């Protein structure tokens, strides 16, 4: 089975559309959380994920928007949460609330941060075989850094961030996974960053939210 693997869309509809356009034929798509937050289009991104029936886990921004709490967030993150809450109706908020912290699809386990803590930042240097459970593949997000490690027991991977990469590459990130061979193909796709920068300003979000997209950080 060939899966498209997404994470950290962060309400960036332009980047998400570019990823879907770039993605070759797959048998399914999964998402490791944070559909909303930071950028201007939370409703459109929630709708895109829901309409395609993409199995998704809850990210920390999803949780903050769904629960109305962003106490530990910085200014940019808090502004994104407040914007999303103003844009999402109750049906969309309820969908966010329904997301689990983890789920398994075709022997692929999805979490947001770490199997033991959904809010823990787990960078590629910390990927360990011990993180794998009974599944062949562990998919996580949260750091917005694209990478994967192959071990004797399986693969630990982060597809990178669709909507706000932080690995120095501004192109939207995602991955393709063959669940039989465990081959991972990391992919990047350029999109109209300036359109997002302009939309960030029009939405009244912090300027830096858009500007950092140019730098991939």
How far is 197 from 213, CA to CA, in rounded Å? 8
State the pLDDT at residue 182. Answer: 97
Position 52 scores a pLDDT of 95
Report the percent of the chain where pLDDT is more than 70: 99
Pick the closest to residue 2 from 137, 168, 125 (CA basis). Answer: 137
What's the confidence (pLDDT) of residue 72? 75
CATH topology (fold) of 2-102+160-215: Purple Acid Phosphatase; chain A, domain 2 (3.60.21)
pTM: 0.96
Task: Check residue 172 and give its pLDDT.
Answer: 98
Dist. CA 206–CA 198, nearest whole Å: 11
Q: Which segments in the chain show pLDDT lower than 50?
A: none
Q: Domain segments of the chain: what residues?
A: 2-102+160-215
Task: Supply the pLDDT for residue 71.
Answer: 63
pLDDT (tens digit per residue) in 133-144: 999 999 999 999
């Amino acid at each position: 089975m060939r899966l498209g693997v997404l994470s950290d869309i962060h309400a960036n509809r332009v980047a998400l559309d570019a990823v879907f356009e770039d993605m070759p034929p797959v048998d399914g798509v999964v998402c490791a959380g944070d559909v909303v937050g930071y950028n201007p289009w939370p409703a459109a991104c929630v709708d895109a994920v829901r309409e395609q029936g993409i199995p998704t886990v809850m990210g920390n921004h999803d949780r903050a928007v769904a629960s109305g709490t962003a106490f530990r967030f910085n200014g940019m993150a808090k502004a994104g949460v407040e914007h999303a809450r103003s844009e999402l109706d109750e049906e969309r908020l309820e969908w966010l609330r329904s997301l689990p912290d983890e789920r398994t699809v075709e022997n692929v386990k999805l979490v947001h941060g770490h199997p033991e803590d959904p809010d823990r930042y787990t960078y590629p240097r910390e990927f360990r075989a011990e993180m794998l459970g009974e599944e062949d593949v562990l998919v996580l997000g949260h750091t917005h850094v694209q990478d994967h490690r192959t071990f004797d027991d399986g693969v630990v991977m982060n597809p990178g961030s669709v909507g706000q990469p932080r690995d120095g590459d501004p192109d939207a990130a995602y991955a393709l996974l063959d669940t039989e061979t465990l081959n991972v193909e990391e992919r990047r796709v350029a999109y109209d960053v300036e359109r997002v920068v302009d939309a960030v300003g029009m939405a009244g979000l912090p300027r830096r939210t858009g500007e950092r997209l140019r730098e991939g950080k």
